[in-house]
Amino acid sequence: MKLDGKNIVIGVTGGIAAYKVCYVVSALKKSGANVFVIMTKNATEFVRPLTYETLSGNRVIVDTFDRDFEWEVEHVSLAKKADLFLVAPCTADFAGKLSGGIADDFLSTTAMAMKCPIVLAPAMNTNMLTSAAYKANEAVLRSRGVLFIEPGSGRLACGDDGKGRLAEPDEIVRFVTDVLLPKQDYEGKTVLVTAGGTSEPIDPVRFITNRSSGKMGVAIAEKAAMRGANVILVAGNISVPVPSGIRRADVSTTAEMYDAVMKYLPEADYIVKAAAPADYAVETFSDKKIKAETLTLKLKKNPDIAAAVGKIKGDKKLIIFSAETDNCDKNAREKMAKKNADMVVLNDVTKPGAGFNTDTNIVTIMTKSTKEELPVMEKSALADILLDRIIEL
């Protein structure tokens, strides 16, 4: 079986989504993994330890001072044997503890001793997920190499609709499997990714931009790195943290993004242009705030980054994104030809679940001879599919 001999420690914290983890434990066990479950006391209010013990075949640990222990110091012995540490559901409280180095129960103590990959699957109310405190903790953890499985959107246990649902069990199992048995098909390759929007200043206060969050580009960069690539991320305005280990060049304007892409282009084997740079800039920037009843701006065309790359790429592979609202297929194919791209990823941004600043996307992948329509899916899952297709070019 795929995960034979792998030791996976799963931490379950106090949330209604704890019941979903039963399916995760069962699936990982069926794949051949040795699964060890640690529960917080609050988690036992939602699922009894006996359930996880039956599914995993191993004793569940809750109490730091459990008298029914082995000779070894258990939180250390579990950490030593673990090939992967998963916390699902991960509450805001546990993320804060892990970020701050607090070790006041068996789960947090074990987490502090872990040297293996750590994966968190958050589940919480939308307002908690977007709070400044949680976001700060998430950024700290990502900077330390902790991996996150993005929560889903929908009806939450509190009755609200929004983002914060625990990812589905099959997605968690797939993510864990990919971390333990990563494809290394990009080893020795350099992938240059652009992400996010750009900002064109009008005056010291105002600027022209768009709603791009950079989520798709960052997801591609993260997955490419996991698959062995040397990744260079040219980042405009992005709203998501960038995992550690990825070379990053921050830019603000389209001209700056153009310069950065041209700087790193000689190193790249693949150029994935997932950014949404502004097409136009203000011809004359005002160094003082403009005060007027009406405002007329004269714009100038920004450099076309994809077209410039297409002219000089040689054997390098250029992948572009095309956000469309009408005549989508026709416009995307024309764009691919005009830019001399090898692949275009079409977004019909009029569809629910697609486009800018969402956690999901709906795309059609086109090459000169193929067309593949994909259903709505999380951008992290889509990133892997795109990389599968890109490596085949």
Which residue type sits at 4? D
Which residues are designated catalytic?
Answer: 158
Contact (Cβ atoms closer than 8 angstroms) between residue 355 and residue 349: yes
Q: How far apart are CA 380 and CA 49, in angstroms?
A: 32
Instruction: Check: CB of residue 151 under 8 Å from CB of residue 129.
Output: yes
> Is the CA virtual torsion 107, 134, 241, 100 positive or negative?
negative
Residues near 294 by beta carbon (within 8 Å), at least 6 away in sequence: none
3-state helix, strand, coil in the chain (%, to 5): 35, 25, 40
Q: Which residues are registered as beta bridge partners of 153?
A: 163
| Tokens coding 97 | 């503890």
25-34 exposure pattern, b = at least 16 Cβ within 10 A, e = fewer: bbbbbebebb
Q: Are strands 152-155 and 360-361 parallel, antiparallel or unpaired?
A: unpaired
As a whole number of angstroms, the distance between CA 140 and CA 87 comes to 17
Q: Are 49 and 62 in contact (CB under 8 A)?
A: yes
- Show the tokens assigned to 324: 């469309």
Question: H or E segment at 190?
Answer: strand 190-195
* 334: alpha, beta or left? (left if phi > 0; alpha if psi -120 to 50): alpha
| Residue 185, phi then psi, degrees to nearest 5 | -75, -10
